[in-house]
C-alpha cells in the first residue's frame, strides 16, 4: 500500500482528493494546522477506507513538522495554501504561508528519499492574476492556454499574486535541479465549484457559490462581478480531485502545469443555474483544457453539474 501525504487534505478541494485516494486504496496522511480543531477534519473519518487515514499536525512554515509529515510518503500533494478574498494583512494571511510555505516545502522534499511524485495545487492565478478578468494582453473574447506567457499585475488581488509567486518558486526549483529523483507536476484550477464534503462555512469556494446564488456582494471585488456581468471560468471539484490523482499516478509529466477548467459563463447565468433556472446565454471555453484531457484523461463535467449539486 503506497502512502500519499496531502497538505490541505481537509479543505474543499483537499477533501475530495483525500476521498479519491482512499477509494483507490492508498494510505493517506492529511495535515491539520490546528489538530485540536477536530471539526475541520472529522468529516474525513466518515469516508470509505478511512481506517487508512491519518491526521497529523502541520504548519507549512515549520520545517521540522514538514519533514515529519512527508517522511515515508511515496507521493505528496501540496494544496495547503489559504484561499481568502477578504484579507486584512496580506503578508501574514497570504504571502507568508503561500510563498514561504512553498519555499520550505521544496527544500524539505529534496531531502526525503522515498518520494516518487510531488503535485502542487496551484491556481489559474499562476497563468493570470487578473482572473476572472482576462490578462492585460488579451481581450475578453480571447482564450488562454498553458503556452501563453503568464501574466501578473501588482494591482491584482493579493491571493492571486501570492499563488503566482509561489508557482514561480516551483518553476525556478525545477529549472535549477534538472536531475532530481522524483517528478513534480502542477495543476491550476479555475473557479472550483460543487458540493463540499464538510459542513464548514469558511470555504471560499462554497462561499462564492452562495454569494452568486443569492446575488450578494460583501465587497467591491465581488460587486464588480455583478456590475460587469463578467464571464467566470469554472471546474467541478470532483474533476479537480481526479486530475490531481491522475497527475500523481501517471509518469512522464515532470515540469508540466495543467489548467483544469470546464465552461465559462456570465455571472448572471451562474446565478440562474444555482437557482435551478435556465441560463440566457451560452457557455464558452475560455481556459483551454486540451492538455489536461489528453495527458490526465479527464472528461470535464459541464458547469451545470457542480452548480446543481451545490444547490441540493
By CB atoms closer than 10 A (0-12, 13-18, 19+), residue 311 is middle
**For residue range 9-45, what is the model confidence (pLDDT) as tens digits?**
999 999 999 999 999 999 999 999 899 999 999 999 9
% of the chain at pLDDT higher than 70: 92
Strand 75-78 relative to strand 117-121: parallel, antiparallel, unpaired? parallel
Grid cell in block for residue 244? 490531481
> Residue 205, SS3?
helix
Instruction: Please give the residue that has the higher pLDDT: either 169 or 238.
Output: 238
Total Cβ atoms within 10 A of residue 283: 18
CA dist list (Å): 43 to 22, 56, 84, 279: 14, 15, 22, 34
Sheet holding 191-193, edge to edge: 191-193, 231-236, 264-266
Domain spans, the chain: 3-198+235-262+287-298
Grid cell in block for residue 239? 474533476
Chain mean position to CA 80 = 9
| 60 pLDDT above the threshold of 70 | yes
| 93 pLDDT above the threshold of 60 | no
**For residue range 141-168, what is the model confidence (pLDDT) as tens digits?**
999 999 999 999 988 777 788 788 888 8
Question: Is this prediction's pTM over 0.85?
Answer: yes
Instruction: Give, in words, the CATH class of 3-198+235-262+287-298.
Output: alpha beta
Total Cβ atoms within 10 A of residue 133: 17
Amino acid at each position: 500500500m503506497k502512502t500519499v501525504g496531502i497538505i490541505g487534505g481537509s479543505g474543499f478541494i483537499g477533501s475530495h482528493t483525500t476521498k479519491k485516494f482512499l477509494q483507490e486504496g492508498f494510505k493517506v496522511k492529511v495535515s491539520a494546522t490546528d489538530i485540536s480543531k477536530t471539526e475541520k477534519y472529522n468529516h474525513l473519518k466518515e469516508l470509505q477506507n478511512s481506517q487508512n487515514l491519518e491526521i497529523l499536525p502541520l504548519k507549512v512554515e515549520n520545517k521540522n513538522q514538514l519533514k515529519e509529515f512527508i517522511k515515508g510518503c511515496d507521493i505528496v500533494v501540496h494544496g495547503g495554501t489559504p484561499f481568502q478574498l477578504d484579507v486584512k494583512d496580506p503578508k501574514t494571511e497570504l504571502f507568508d504561508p503561500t510563498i514561504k510555505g512553498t519555499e520550505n516545502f521544496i527544500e524539505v522534499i529534496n531531502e526525503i528519499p522515498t518520494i516518487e511524485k510531488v503535485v502542487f495545487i496551484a491556481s489559474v492565478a499562476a497563468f493570470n492574476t487578473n482572473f476572472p478578468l482576462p490578462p492585460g494582453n488579451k481581450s475578453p473574447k480571447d482564450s488562454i492556454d498553458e503556452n501563453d506567457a503568464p501574466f501578473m499585475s501588482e494591482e491584482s488581488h493579493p491571493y492571486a499574486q501570492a499563488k503566482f509567486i509561489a508557482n514561480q518558486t516551483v518553476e525556478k526549483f525545477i529549472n535549477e535541479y534538472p536531475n532530481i529523483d522524483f517528478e513534480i507536476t502542477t495543476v491550476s484550477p479555475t473557479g472550483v465549484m460543487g458540493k463540499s464534503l464538510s459542513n464548514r462555512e469558511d470555504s471560499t469556494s462554497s462561499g462564492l457559490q452562495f454569494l452568486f446564488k443569492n446575488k450578494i456582494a460583501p465587497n467591491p471585488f465581488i460587486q464588480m462581478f455583478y456590475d460587469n456581468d463578467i464571464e467566470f471560468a469554472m471546474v467541478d471539484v470532483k474533476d479537480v480531485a481526479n486530475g490531481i490523482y491522475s497527475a500523481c499516478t501517471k509518469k512522464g509529466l515532470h515540469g508540466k502545469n495543467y489548467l483544469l477548467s470546464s465552461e465559462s459563463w456570465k455571472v448572471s447565468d451562474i446565478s440562474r443555474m444555482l437557482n435551478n433556472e435556465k441560463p440566457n446565454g451560452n457557455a464558452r471555453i475560455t481556459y483551454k483544457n486540451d492538455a489536461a484531457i489528453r495527458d490526465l484523461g479527464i472528461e470535464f463535467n459541464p458547469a451545470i453539474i457542480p452548480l446543481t449539486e451545490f444547490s441540493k
